[in-house]
Amino acid sequence: MAGFGGAATVVGSFPHTDAPRLVDSLIARLPDVPAWPQLPVRDWRESMYVQYSEGLPGAVIDDQTQRIFFRMDERFEQELERFYQAIVEEDVERFAISGDYAQGLQVFLERMERRPEVRKSESPKVGGGEYGRPGQWVKGQVTGPFSFAMTVTDEGKRSLAYTPELREVAVQGMAIKARWVARRLRQVNDNVLVVLDEPYLCSFGSAFVNVPREDVIAAIETACAAIHAEGALAGLHCCGNTDWSLVLATGIDVLNVDAFQFFHGLPLYPAELTSFLERGGTLAWGIVPTSAAIEKTTAPELLALLDERIGQLADKGLDRARLNAQMLLTPSCGLGTQTVAVAERVLDTLVELSALVRARILT
């Protein structure tokens, strides 16, 4: 199978507040894999741990203090029963994300609806197919179940991961939200990638995380299965170093890593990476820095760095041609905490780098 072949997309969050203008810009600048933007500066409800909380049992959204937590009060049992009934009945629409929580998604869907020609591409099987034709793919994102369960707490500030009922709400909740995103995007484009944002995986294995490995894998697998149920590809983004063997043991189709700052751990898993690529997996290289380093970095310099990183994997026995063919390019992380100027510079550099990579692949 062919890969994305150096196409560019983004991680998700942006510091902008004008959703229509930003969405139009992303669709124009990222024609191969446009993505809808999260806008936490516009409204705190668009931050990654609040955005996907609508309709979850026990969720309390405190606008005054801008805090999200879960409460197991007298209403919780009834809410939990309705929650599981909806999941069993596959009532995906019950978990829709409203425009108040995702204006970028709402505008993106409206814009894509006006481009009916984008929907005419043949939909490949999950994990396979021809990628990279202009306008073929769209990308969305959902907070990963492990990160949601570890970061969001109950009233006593205890992570949801350590209360069985709330842990399952986090796992099943993020899975059904991911499924809704996949379904909604597939209504405007045949081929969809939904990426699980899992920043907390950087802490897995430390003394601060007392969660079994098999539970983390099971949580990610639940979300992947939900995305696959809608005929979409499932990705995972982690913006730091982690146990990549754990991630690659799941059913993800796209692995998005911070290849600028935290690449050093990835070459330690050549066997797992080889298996991932051989089953059609795509490595999404977050090679464009989202820090102040972008001001001193050029696309040609990043191309040289990318080649060096690919060389390290090739030296471990990975197929260089496959790495190039099954490649996406992204920023190293989201841009929600950066300035608009930095975000625009990152986008410009990303687009230029993708053009350099694709021109080389096609020649």
pLDDT digits 0-9 by tens, 87-140: 999 999 999 999 999 999 999 999 998 875 544 444 444 333 343 344 589 999
Q: Residue 298 has what DSSP assignment? A: -
Question: How is 97-158 classified by DSSP, letter by letter?
Answer: PPTTT-HHHHHHHHHHHT-GGGGGSPPPPTT-S----TT-EEEEEEE-HHHHHHHSEETTS-
Rounded Cα–Cα distance for residues 41 and 47 (Å): 8
Which residues contact residue 162 at a Cβ distance below 8 angstroms, ignoring those fewer than 6 apart?
Answer: 210
The pLDDT value given to residue 363: 62
The pLDDT value given to residue 209: 86
Which residues contact residue 61 at a Cβ distance below 8 angstroms, ignoring those fewer than 6 apart?
Answer: 45, 50, 53, 68
Rounded Cα–Cα distance for residues 162 and 150 (Å): 8
The pLDDT value given to residue 117: 55
Q: What are residue 124's phi and psi, to 5 degrees?
A: -80, 165
Rounded Cα–Cα distance for residues 166 and 146 (Å): 12
Per-residue pLDDT of the chain (363 residues; tens, 9 = 90+): 336 999 999 999 999 999 999 999 999 999 999 999 999 999 999 999 999 999 999 999 999 999 999 999 999 999 999 999 999 999 999 999 999 999 999 999 999 988 755 444 444 443 333 433 445 899 999 999 999 999 999 999 999 999 999 999 999 999 999 999 999 999 999 999 999 999 999 988 777 788 999 999 999 999 999 999 999 999 999 999 999 999 999 999 999 999 999 999 999 999 999 999 999 999 999 999 999 899 999 999 999 999 999 999 999 999 999 999 999 999 999 999 999 999 999 999 999 999 999 988 766
Q: What are residue 193's phi and psi, to 5 degrees?
A: -120, 125
For the chain, what are the domain ranges? Answer: 7-362
CATH number of 7-362: 3.20.20.210
